[in-house]
Amino acid sequence: MIGRNSLFGPVDPAADAGYADPPARKGFFTDTSVCIGCKACEVACKEWNDVPENLFEMLGTSYDNSHSLNANQWRHVAFIERPGPAGGTAGQPGQQADLPRPAVDLGMPEMGAPVVPDEAKPDFRWLMESDVCKHCTHAACLDVCPTGSLFRTEFGTVVVQDDICNGCGYCVAACPFGVIDRRRGPDGAENIGIAQKCTLCYDRLTDGQRPACANACPTESIQYGDVDELRRRADERVAALHEQGIMDARLYGNDPNDGVGGTGAFFLLLDEPEVYGLPPDPVVTTKDLPRMFNRAGVAALAMLAGAAVSFLGRRA
């Protein structure tokens, strides 16, 4: 049923889907400023969800070896090499402030940070980001699914039911982020030809557990919880970074008034979204469907009225 806000605009996705008394919406806040690129999230996701191997080959432009999100890669840690020193002048586009990055406690034996002279410091910096399905408030993949394989959970997330998906691929074309994909291999893997993507570990959520990737993240770059609480934390984190002079810090996907009604998985970025391979202004691809249906209905009624007038005119 198409309501006033069913395909766009801010809504509570679980309530909009018909859940009478849903729990608080769950999601991810990924803070890329503390991501160290360890890929523990990728491994945990594959282990828990039994996701088969991907093409682990080095890219020509990066140390990244898991390529991108696809049917066999539900979490992807991007390694993005950017020109310019790791330090810079606060407020200049594309540069972080000239501030030391705080060390991350990994629970390893203390060895101390190496002393690197200024002339030996690299003239580039790394941006690392663990990408995932955004679990959009208005999910076009869900809108176009003809079998009901994709459904909205009580937690506000979007999940694929493998045994119902017919592999039509409509959802693949509808996703504005290029996340969902049909599995093509390897030989012997389950769900070949079926649409696959992150479920936000729906089975763990129903058992009161955190998603596997958030559980494995050693720096808490991936935070899981109630979306409203995560948005509050994200706002505070951006304000703290701005106070430190890191003016490029910004949030992506947290605005419920954006083109997809905000996302359940949103990010703190240190550069423009395009640098991370994210669309700068995503729009739910089914946004215009109600208007198209209305116009098609008006056109059909006009044609029917014309045919009736013509028929009655000939009889007269």
pLDDT digits (tens, 9 = 90+) for 132-185: 999 999 999 998 999 999 999 999 999 999 999 999 999 999 999 999 999 998
Mean model confidence pLDDT for the chain: 86
- Name the pTM for this structure: 0.81
The token duo for 17 is 């889907």
- pLDDT one-digit tens code per residue, 184-215: 988 888 999 999 999 999 999 999 999 999 99
39 is in an annotated binding site: no
Question: pLDDT tier at 285 (50, 70, 90 boundaries)?
Answer: confident
The token duo for 127 is 């941006």
Whether 104 has a pLDDT exceeding 70, the answer reads no
Residue extents of the structural domains in the chain: 13-83+121-283, 286-315
217 is in an annotated binding site: yes
41 is in an annotated binding site: yes
171 is in an annotated binding site: yes
220 is in an annotated binding site: no
Question: pLDDT tier at 17 (50, 70, 90 boundaries)?
Answer: confident
163 is in an annotated binding site: no
Exposure pattern of 210-235 as b/e (b: 16+ CB <10 Å)? Answer: bbbbbbbbeeebbbbbebeebbeebe
Q: How many CB atoms lie within 10 A of CB 275?
A: 16
Determine whether 72 is exposed, middle or buried from the number of CB atoms within 10 Å of its CB (0-12, 13-18, 19+): buried
What mean pLDDT do residues 54-71 have?
77
Question: pLDDT tier at 125 (50, 70, 90 boundaries)?
Answer: confident
133 is in an annotated binding site: yes
Predicted local distance difference test score (pLDDT) of residue 88:
43
Predicted local distance difference test score (pLDDT) of residue 251:
98
What mean pLDDT do residues 76-86 have?
82
Whether 83 has a pLDDT exceeding 90, the answer reads no
Whether 57 has a pLDDT exceeding 70, the answer reads no
128 is in an annotated binding site: no
CA distance 141 to 254: 20
Which of 261, 278, 39, 297 has the alpha carbon at shortest distance from 178? 278
301 is in an annotated binding site: no
Higher pLDDT, 116 or 186: 186
Residues in the chain, overall count: 316
Beta bridge partners of 127: 80
Question: pLDDT tier at 311 (50, 70, 90 boundaries)?
Answer: confident
The CATH architecture of the domain made up of 13-83+121-283 is: 2-Layer Sandwich (3.30)
168 is in an annotated binding site: yes
280 is in an annotated binding site: no
The token duo for 37 is 């690129």
164 is in an annotated binding site: no
Whether 130 has a pLDDT exceeding 70, the answer reads yes
CA distance 145 to 165: 9
295 vs 284, 287, 288, CA distance in Å?
Answer: 20, 14, 11
136 is in an annotated binding site: yes
**Winning range, highest mean pLDDT, from 4-8, 246-250, 284-288:** 246-250
45 is in an annotated binding site: yes
**Winning range, highest mean pLDDT, from 57-66, 223-232, 304-313:** 223-232
Predicted local distance difference test score (pLDDT) of residue 92:
41
